[in-house]
Structure 1
Amino acid sequence: MDWLGDNAWAAWLSVAAALGVAELFSLDLVLLMLAVGAMAGMVAGLLAAPVVVQVLVAAAASIAMLTLVRPSMVKRLHGGPELRLGHQELVGRQAEVLQELSGLTTGRIMLAGEEWSAKPYDETLTIAPGETVEVLQIRGATAYVHPVPRLES
C-alpha cells in the first residue's frame, strides 16, 4: 500500500489508459473526457497532492470536460456541411439582367448559365438590362433579386 501512495500517478495513468481504450469501443466521447480527468488526477499525484485532492481534481476536470468540451466536439463531429440542393443552391449567387425587371413586370436574368424569369425583391425597384443582381429568394420558377451596388470611380 505504501508503493501505491508514493506512485498514485501510475494508478491514474492506468485508469486513463483503460478509459482511452474503452473509448475506442464506445465512440461517444464520455470515456475520453473521463480519461482526461484521470490525467489531471495523475498530474496532481505527480505533484504529491493527497489522494483526496487527486480525486477532487480528477472529478472537477472530468465534469468540466463533459460540460464544456464534449458538447461542441459532438456537434462538430455529428454535424455535416449544410447541404443546399436544387434551386436553393442558386440563392446568394449573382446574375445579369437580360430584360428590365420591375414590380409590375417579370423580366429575365442569366443565372448560372440559364435564363430565369425574375422580379425585384423590392417591388418599388426597376432594374435595367445589363445590371448585376443577387438572388435573394426563388419561388417556383421565379428568382427574386436585388441589384448589387457598383463602386463608382
Structure 2
Amino acid sequence: MVDIEAWIWWLVAAAGLGIPLVLTAMPEFGMMAAGAIAAAIGAALGLGGVAQVLLFVAVSVALIAVVRPIAARHRTERPQLATGTDALKGRQALVLERVDAEGGRIKLAGEVWSARALGPDEVFEAGRQVDVVEIDGATAIVM
C-alpha cells in the first residue's frame, strides 16, 4: 500500500468539498474546503493529526460564522444604484401644463413626461415643483 502524506488527503478533501459547492451553490461547502486547505498547510508544516482536524474545524467554523451573515446581508439589501424608472422615483419635477387626476405634463430629468396627480382631488398648476411618487408606464405619478 502506498503511504500518501496527510496534506495530500486534505487537498483531496478540499476538492471533494468543492464538488457539492458547484452542484448546490451552497457557500458553506466552499468555506469547509478552505478549512481543508488550511489543514493541508498545517499537515505540510508538520502538525499532528489532532491539530490538523482542529485547524480544519476552527477555520471552517470561523468562515461560516463570519462570512455567512455578511453574504446574507448582501443578498437582502437593495442595490445602491437605482437605474431606469426606479432612478426617477423621489425626484422633483417642474409642472409644464396643469396636472390633475386626468393628466398633464411635467419636466423630469430634462425630459417632458406625461403626469397624473396621486390624489383624485389634487391639482398642480404650471410652474410648481412636484415630487415623483411612481412611474406607471410612460406616466409619472406626482404629488
TM-score bin (small chain): 0.5 to 0.7
**SS at 1:91's partner residue?**
coil
1:36 correspondence with 2:39: no
Map of 2:115 onto structure 1: 116
Q: Is the 8 A contact 2:130 2:142 kept in 1?
A: no
Map of 1:23 onto structure 2: 21
Map of 2:56 onto structure 1: 58
Shift of 1:55: 0.9
Q: Is the 8 A contact 2:105 2:112 kept in 1?
A: no
Aligned-residue CA RMSD (Å): 4.1
Please report the TM-score for the alignment, with normalisation by the length of structure 1.
Answer: 0.58
Question: What CA distance in whole angstroms lies between the structure 1 residues aligned with 2:117 and 2:22?
Answer: 54
Q: Is the 8 A contact 1:95 1:109 kept in 2?
A: no
Q: Is the 8 A contact 1:97 1:132 kept in 2?
A: yes
Shift of 1:134: 4.2
The aligned amino acid for 2:11 is L
The aligned amino acid for 1:52 is V
The aligned amino acid for 2:115 is W
**SS at 2:35's partner residue?**
helix
Q: Is the 8 A contact 2:95 2:127 kept in 1?
A: yes
Shift of 1:73: 3.3
Residue identity (%): 31
Q: How does 1:4-153 map to 2 (within 5 A)?
A: 7-73=5-71, 76=74, 90-98=88-96, 110=106, 111=108, 113-118=112-117, 129-130=126-127, 133-135=130-132, 137=133, 143-144=142-143
**SS at 1:98's partner residue?**
strand
Shift of 1:96: 1.3
Count of residue pairs the alignment pairs up: 126
What residue ranges of structure 1 are gaps of 5+ in the alignment?
120-126, 145-153
Shift of 1:23: 2.0
Question: What CA distance in whole angstroms lies between the structure 2 residues aligned with 1:39 and 1:54?
Answer: 10
Map of 2:121 onto structure 1: none
**SS at 1:113's partner residue?**
strand
Shift of 1:61: 0.8
Question: What CA distance in whole angstroms lies between the structure 2 residues aligned with 1:133 and 1:116?
Answer: 10
